[in-house]
Structure 1
Amino acid sequence: MLPITRAIGCLLLPGFPLRALGAWTDGLAALNAQQGQVLYALSTLALDEGLVLAGTGVAVHCRAPCAADHWHTVVVLAGEPCTMEAGQEAQLRAQLRAWDQEGVLLGGLGSGAAALAAAGLLDGHRACADWAWLDRLSARHPGVAWSQGLWDLTLARRRFSATSSAATDLVGAWAQQLHGEPVQQEWLLAMDLRHGRAAEDRQRREHLEARDVANPKLAEALALMEANLAEPLPTEEVARLVGVSRRQLERLFKQHLDSLPSRHYLALRLERAQRLLQQGTQSILQVGLSCGFASGPHFSNAYKAHHGHTPREERSRRPGWLAPAPQGDRS
């Protein structure tokens, strides 16, 4: 007998990570399609009905919660922590506590776990958040075990969290824990993945010191880059969206990361390409295109310059992973 439909609320806070919302909803929608029924009914929520702007500037329409709602799960999606007015923060804390009293499974994506921590709902819990905010959150909420890992799913304690980039991995763990290993394996195939990343895998930027993420403009620029790997933004556009000049942005990157914005952006895209080559089943050309490279040769040359070997050599290093290349894949 198939399980009943679970109502999932996605509570969006201003500046929320759009890619995390897409990965979370796409992952649950794939579970719906796999089982041939609506296991999960998703809604976008805000404290007040209207449009909520993502960190990329995209507006998403949300409705306000109401007394008639019966949520199975509510996940808070947030960018920079504590960017709300005091009255809104109090409203958010009260709403989260009310849901907790109702037995709702509560989670956070990006820095969404910070909202749960501010409401006193994560003391004694392990939680994950984007690396840019970990030092600040650790100082602000010392009762929470902030992790440099990618995700945490503790169903017995009704809590979960993940970084912006690990929403898909979280859904994979969700599929395993709520529906079992066979369903998870079918879901991985449907999502074109070989396996999900483990909870304890560390975020790529965890080696940076606190000073490297203390500047909010730098953190915002990095978040924009992470959210736009498939269609890279010009440096001038990143600077404009962050609200600084190109020269100011270059100074920030040089001071904190000893790199140029364009060089750092390229490295992020090539690191994502490496993960896709190691874990996914896309062709090499498809991986390159999905990481913002206009052609196979362009991708192959950039990849070799950064990693020291070609994309094809990367994939062939994993036994059993190298499938015959589709026609036209000459990378």
Structure 2
Amino acid sequence: MNIGDKVRLLRAKEQGVVSRFLPGNMIEIEIEDGFRIPVMRSELVLVSPLEAERLLKPSIFEPQKTVTPSAPAILSNQGIYLAFIPVNDREYTLHLVNNTDWDFPYTLGEESAGAGGGVQFRGLQSGVLKPKGQQKMNDLYAHAKFEEWPTFVVQGLWFRAGKASLRAPLVKRFKARAATFFKAKTTVPVLNQPGFQTQLDADVAVDSSSGASPAAPAANRGGSNVSTQHRPATIRPEDLKAEMLKPKSESIGSSIERPSSVVDLHTEALLPSGTDKRTSADLLKLQLDTFDRSLENAIASGMQDITFIHGVGSGALRTELHKRLGKHPNVRFFEDAQKEKFGYGATKVTIK
């Protein structure tokens, strides 16, 4: 079995292409909807060459649909955030959040002091944030090393299909300051989780005639948390020390709710009074939000494992859960949970 081979799961409907080999006799495959999932080698079988010719390709008998780009009314032009979500009372995860109705192609990196007093840049992530979307970065940032946090650099463009105003590129630098950072705790949009955030586009005009410039000096006007690498740091040691020595009743971890060891993600369990005309997309988002919140709370509260009941169905929810678990830095491993009790409709997660 080699990278690029077409494979099928023995005990599920999914089929896809081998994308890479993982430790522990695991293989990552990319399935039809673009998700990548880790699977045991013993659970896969190669697809014959005849089948492989048609795998992941639309049927020649299906009529091709022509999609004409449209430009619906813009509901939200601003709302690009850097958000720091507490994993526990010691570490934060970094998220880039797009709460606008624009596609947002971006790059995100770190600037820090290099050898000889220069500035060193490290790229973290690039991609396209869809409207009302977010991207979680892989690194964790320690509370105890707050003074050593780098300057975060976000560069982005704006795109909408059809007719839309031309917008200047977004270039922002953000350096966390103790005097203001810890006062900004709020519910982060899109994620709907408590955290600390800064809005990067609060002072960016939408109309190109407004004179908004992509150059660094103009791009760094506005919020007190945003600065260039040339602006002197204003972190006061006494402010940082006071924040770290706050009583537990005021700490980030004090509001963490320990979840049940078994979390049922079925919609009837999450919405016992009925779905109330929610769409399939709304219900899937509710299930994924419940999964993310329960997993993070389980990690933060020191649980060793947690089981999620997702059912069998089409397999879309199970696939997305496994994709997220495969990338989570605090997950040791995950597996089908108690087949005699749940069948193939639950996943047990062991936490580091």
- Above 0.5 in TM-score? no
Bigger proportion of residues as strand:
2
Bigger proportion of residues as helix:
1
Bigger radius of gyration among the two:
2
Per the normalisation by structure 1, the TM-score is 0.29
Per the normalisation by structure 2, the TM-score is 0.28
